[in-house]
Structure 1
Amino acid sequence: MSTASVLFDAPGPRARVRNRVVSAITLVFLALVLWVIYGKLSAKGQLTSAKWEPFLTGNLWKTYVLPGIQGTLTAAAISIVLAMILGFALGVGRLSHNGPIRWFCSVFVEFFRAVPVLIMMIFAFALYALYDVFPSKQLALAGVVTGLTLYNGAVIAEIVRAGVTSLPRGQAEAASALGLRWGQTMRAILLPQAITSMLPVLISQLVVVLKDTAIGYQITFVEMVRQGTQVGSAYGNYVPALIVIAILMISVNFALSAAAVRVEKRLRRSSRAPRPLDAQAIEQEGAPGARVQQAD
């Protein structure tokens, strides 16, 4: 049976004709919708060359776009690192044999998964401002990073737990039979395999972190989408400004996804490769044989 007919029956001649007709009608409808939208935007002068000219000046990029890109990438990078650390710690904690640790991690994960990211950002921003935890210039960044770290750390913890529990139970049992402790089994056997299997989900979650930085405009954080709306307000070109910002966001997300996919391929390739032998083990185990060969 071919892969195309595993989930559904192969369409017959009439079905293929019907599918082509439906596809053609759909494409024509979408083309008409785009044409109407283009006509309305053109009538309002949003797609004229004059609306795009500000993006050819360095002042616009220096004043609006580049600070937004810097803010988005800074918040995303810090949040991704902290969320990965927190998520792996919580995910392993939920699998712990220690009851209090497992209970605490479970409550933490379930609570912060249920709280909206924006609420956590606003709460952290107000809390930091009330107790002067961070300088005033860094308050918005700290609030955004805190909200993204707590929420995405809880989500990553569930990803880690699901990745480890999806592995065959025989591996943990074999490690226990060899005398390995739970921590050694998790660190040396289970987690390396789970990371490889859950990388696609982790990649999508990292892209979510990058996109969710746009919520930070509610606490005056300087990021790409907020700066795009400010460009539209300053130059009266909302549609071109949002199109440019959308292209930049898509490019950054695509670059992040491509980099993560490359890491995934390298990890999968290295996991299939034979493990290099330890030089000291070769000396200890192969020394008698080596002496015999030398004696021959």
Structure 2
Amino acid sequence: MTVESSALYDVPGPKALARHRLYGWLALLVIAAVIGWVVYMLFHTQQFTYQKWMPFEYKGVQELLLRGLANTLKAFGWTALFALPFGALFAAGRLSDHRVVRWVSTLVVEFFRAMPLLVMIFFIFVALKAPPMWALVAGLTLYNGSVLAEVFRAGVLAVPKGQREAAYALGLRKTQVMAYVLVPQANRAMLPTIVSQLVVALKDTSLGFLITYEEFLHAGKLIATNLDYDLPFIPVVMVVAPVYIGMCLLLSWFAKWLERRGRRSPKAKGGAPVAAAGLTPDPQG
């Protein structure tokens, strides 16, 4: 039996494999012990009693949660709709050859990236008298759009320099180079980071409860604090948290689906076939 070698590291021997296997089992035991302790504490503090879970049987509570979930998805949808073009616009501005456009775009992006998100939301809600949903959407758009602008800019700059030079050598203008050469190649590298930022935006919609926007977390807070059923804080968390996790996982799955679809797309596999290379007659000869 031959063991494949690696240029980066030595192949572990039998003792190393046994040691790694032992570390793995110890880690699993620690994780199992932590989970067991958490479950024990939940039962010990009577978090699974019928009295604490009884509010979820009422139709009004269920409708409140569904309405909050719909408002969360609505705020996230508007944020994604505005943040992606915002990021693309200011990324193009930061890559512009015009100094004024580049400076203004840099100032906008750096300002909204550095500004705390909660401060922006409160400023728009209190000072500008915006409705709660639009104050939340505006704050999320400015912050996440600025982060996405840096993602787009870094993705375009990550494309090998030779691609840009070859496109210019063919006589393409800068907008054509960006649209047909740089951006399509950068899309695959940018997609995981874009999805990660959208997941952050989805989770940050929970800040809406601080400005009385009736999103999903706000609905859970109402159930946990306003019902006289022994204050079911933990049951509410056990209902709300998996929904947030599920939405984030669904968004990540959608991104992976798009990536696989892009790999199968004929346009992603290459452009027109290249003619066979041959000798070009010398015009001087």
TM class by shorter chain equals 0.7 to 0.9
SS of equivalent residue, structure 2 residue 257: helix
Point out the more displaced range, 115-124 or 32-41. 32-41
Q: How does 1:218-257 map to 2 (within 5 A)?
A: 218-233=210-225, 234=227, 235=229, 236-257=231-252
Deviation at 1:26, TM superposition (A): 3.0
* One-letter identity of the residue aligned with 2:198: L
Q: How does 1:109-120 map to 2 (within 5 A)?
A: 109-120=109-120
Give the equivalent residue in structure 2 for 1:268: 263
Task: Please give the alpha-carbon distance, in whole angstroms, between the structure 1 residues aligned to 2:113 and 2:200.
Answer: 14
Aligned CA-pair RMSD: 2.3
Task: Please give the alpha-carbon distance, in whole angstroms, between the structure 2 residues aligned to 1:146 and 1:7.
Answer: 48
Cα pair 1:224 1:245 within 8 Å, conserved = yes
Cα pair 1:41 1:47 within 8 Å, conserved = yes
Deviation at 1:7, TM superposition (A): 5.4
**TM-score normalized by the length of structure 2:** 0.85
Q: Which has the larger share of helix?
A: 1
Encode CA deviations 1:209-253: one digit per residue, 9 max, x unaligned: 101111222211222222222222224221121111111111111
Matched, 1:82 2:82: yes
Task: Please give the alpha-carbon distance, in whole angstroms, between the structure 1 residues aligned to 2:103 and 2:173.
Answer: 21
Q: How does 1:31-70 map to 2 (within 5 A)?
A: 31-63=32-64, 65-70=65-70
Identity %: 39
Question: Number of aligned pairs?
Answer: 267
Label 1:84 to 1:6 Cα distance change in 2 as closer, same or farther (>3 A): farther
Deviation at 1:17, TM superposition (A): 2.6
Give the equivalent residue in structure 2 for 1:128: 128
Unaligned runs of 5+ in 1: 278-296
Encode CA deviations 1:127-179: one digit per residue, 9 max, x unaligned: 221xxxx4xxxx11111111110111111111111111111222222222222
* One-letter identity of the residue aligned with 1:19: H
Q: How does 1:3-14 map to 2 (within 5 A)?
A: 8-14=9-15
Task: Please give the alpha-carbon distance, in whole angstroms, between the structure 1 residues aligned to 2:32 and 2:21.
Answer: 16
Q: How does 1:146-295 map to 2 (within 5 A)?
A: 146-233=138-225, 234=227, 235=229, 236-270=231-265, 271-273=267-269
Point out the more displaced range, 74-83 or 13-22. 13-22
Label 1:7 to 1:50 Cα distance change in 2 as closer, same or farther (>3 A): farther
Point out the more displaced range, 107-116 or 49-58. 49-58
**TM-score normalized by the length of structure 1:** 0.82
Task: Please give the alpha-carbon distance, in whole angstroms, between the structure 1 residues aligned to 2:6 and 2:108.
Answer: 44
Label 1:276 to 1:181 Cα distance change in 2 as closer, same or farther (>3 A): closer
SS of equivalent residue, structure 2 residue 68: helix
Task: Please give the alpha-carbon distance, in whole angstroms, between the structure 2 residues aligned to 1:85 and 1:144.
Answer: 18
Unaligned runs of 5+ in 2: 274-285
Deviation at 1:273, TM superposition (A): 4.2
